[in-house]
């Protein structure tokens, strides 16, 4: 019999806002962990972040908090903070796991929480390694990516749209918590795991060779839409549709040459410049001439003809499409893809919702969930985890310490 969820025996408490930390909790929740958000009574810093539905519900917040439970507490009140600390440190073999991107002081101080539960695991996400404030966009500016992004002729920095460092950090939050939990299961020891958004960006810059390249005196420039170090860029078809074609590996390159029937032309380019176009770096050096040849072939044909030729030869390529086109015309972003379910999100309506992208042989994928209403699970969680009965909960509610769903 297949198990229902790989992390169903874990309970994680989360106090977070924005992208990376909530994404870490979402990653765990989609693998079956019981992730309990601690929210302030009126909602956190990102509770109203754009984009919004017609009913003024944040699609951003809903997307990052699917499959979690929400407990709303008056965190300005000592009794509210006491309840939060009790939830974080509550007993249970798979409990005592805490994720936050708020400063680890006051009720979030690890040493205070550890006094309540010695084997507590806390993952604290910081801006930089000193604990300073930073967000994806400031980190991206610091590591230099905006100066290698954008048109070749542009001298100003170009900010990216996708918060790539947040995404990488969010998944590392989940990995770090699971690694610490594995250590605890072997030794019985908890720990405070700190992760800096800036350090994630710096480490990736090192892993991808950007740092060593600069140390060796090579200044990475802007190359517009050209793929650095190999062959690939955007091309316009005769009818105006644009495609990207990639020749990163030799197999991909040979498929592209076959599809365009330009073997002789391309061989001549290699001879002219003394380059071996079987090497990806040499293809980059000859990119202007190669793009002129391949772009001419593509530009003389309709999108349908280009697509047919590319598919027949096994080219690594894709059409460019808008997000609207992705959602409304692409089967990959539909119920044809088992990644997606359709859910009825309160205040939003019926929408596609992705499951975890991980597929385990031994475990069923957890169905895509909805985000909770603010405080939706306050009474249930306090009763289940802390043993607070209905009468006691009512008194807390009357004093403004807790709040149920709006």
**Which residues are catalytically annotated?**
166
Give the separation between CA 193 and CA 14, rounded to whole angstroms: 14
Give the separation between CA 351 and CA 10, rounded to whole angstroms: 28
- What string of H, E and C letters represents the secondary structure of 126-159? ECCCCCCCCCHHHHHHHHCHHHCCCCCCCCCCCC
Residues paired with 247 in a beta bridge: 231
Alpha-carbon torsion angle 244, 249, 255, 256, nearest 10: 40
DSSP letter string, 270-294: HHHHT--TTSHHHHHHTHHHHHHHH
Residues 6+ apart with CB under 8 A from 362: 2, 3, 6
Residues 6+ apart with CB under 8 A from 74: 40, 41, 80, 400, 401, 402, 403
3-state class (DSSP) for residue 236: strand
Residues 6+ apart with CB under 8 A from 137: 159, 163
Phi/psi at 401 (nearest 5 deg)? -85, -35
Give the separation between CA 119 and CA 401, rounded to whole angstroms: 28
**Exposure on the CB side of residue 198, measured as CA atoms within 13 A:** 16
Residue 77, sorted as left (phi over 0), alpha (psi -120 to 50) or beta, turns out to be beta
Whether omega before 68 lies within 30 degrees of 0, making that bond cis, reads no
| Strand order from edge to edge, sheet including 69-73 | 191-196, 121-126, 97-100, 11-15, 34-40, 69-73, 402-403
3-state class (DSSP) for residue 122: strand
* Nearest Cα residue to 387 out of 167, 86, 166, 135: 86
Q: Residue 402 in contact with residue 80, Cβ under 8 Å?
A: yes
């Amino acid at each position: 019999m297949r198990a229902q969820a790989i992390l169903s025996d874990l309970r994680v408490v989360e106090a977070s806002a924005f992208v990376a930390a909530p994404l870490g909790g979402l990653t765990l929740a989609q693998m079956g962990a019981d992730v309990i958000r601690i929210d302030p009574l009126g909602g956190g810093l990102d509770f109203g972040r754009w984009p919004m539905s017609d009913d003024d519900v944040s699609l951003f917040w809903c997307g990052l908090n699917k499959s979690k439970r929400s407990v709303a507490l008056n965190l300005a009140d000592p009794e509210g903070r006491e309840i939060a600390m009790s939830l974080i440190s509550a007993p249970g073999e798979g409990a005592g796991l805490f994720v936050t991107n708020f400063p680890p002081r006051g009720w979030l101080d690890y040493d205070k929480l550890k006094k309540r539960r010695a084997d507590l695991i806390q993952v604290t996400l910081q801006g930089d390694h000193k604990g300073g404030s930073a967000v994806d966009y400031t980190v991206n500016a610091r590591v230099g990516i905006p100066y290698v992004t954008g048109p070749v002729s542009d001298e100003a920095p170009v900010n990216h749209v996708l918060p790539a460092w947040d995404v990488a950090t969010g998944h590392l939050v989940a990995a770090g918590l699971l690694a610490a939990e594995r250590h605890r299961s072997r030794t019985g020891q908890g720990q405070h795991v700190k992760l800096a958004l800036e350090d994630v960006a710096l480490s990736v810059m090192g892993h991808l060779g950007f740092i060593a390249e600069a140390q060796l005196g090579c200044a990475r420039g802007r190359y517009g839409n050209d793929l650095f170090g190999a062959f690939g860029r955007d091309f316009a078809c005769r009818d105006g549709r644009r495609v990207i074609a990639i020749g990163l590996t030799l197999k991909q390159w040979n498929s592209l040459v076959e599809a365009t029937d330009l073997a002789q032309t391309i061989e001549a380019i290699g001879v002219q410049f003394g380059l071996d176009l079987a090497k990806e770096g040499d293809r980059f050096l000859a990119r202007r001439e190669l793009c002129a040849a391949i772009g001419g072939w593509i530009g003389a044909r309709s999108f349908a003809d280009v697509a047919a030729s590319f598919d027949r030869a096994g080219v690594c390529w894709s059409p460019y499409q808008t997000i609207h086109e992705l959602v409304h015309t692409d089967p990959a972003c539909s119920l044809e893809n088992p990644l997606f379910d359709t859910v009825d999100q309160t205040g939003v309506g019926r929408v596609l919702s992705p499951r975890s992208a991980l597929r385990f042989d031994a475990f069923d994928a957890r169905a895509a969930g909805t985000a909770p209403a603010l405080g939706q699970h306050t009474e249930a969680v306090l009763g289940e985890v802390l043993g607070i009965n209905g009468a006691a909960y009512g008194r807390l509610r009357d004093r403004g310490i807790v709040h149920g769903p709006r």
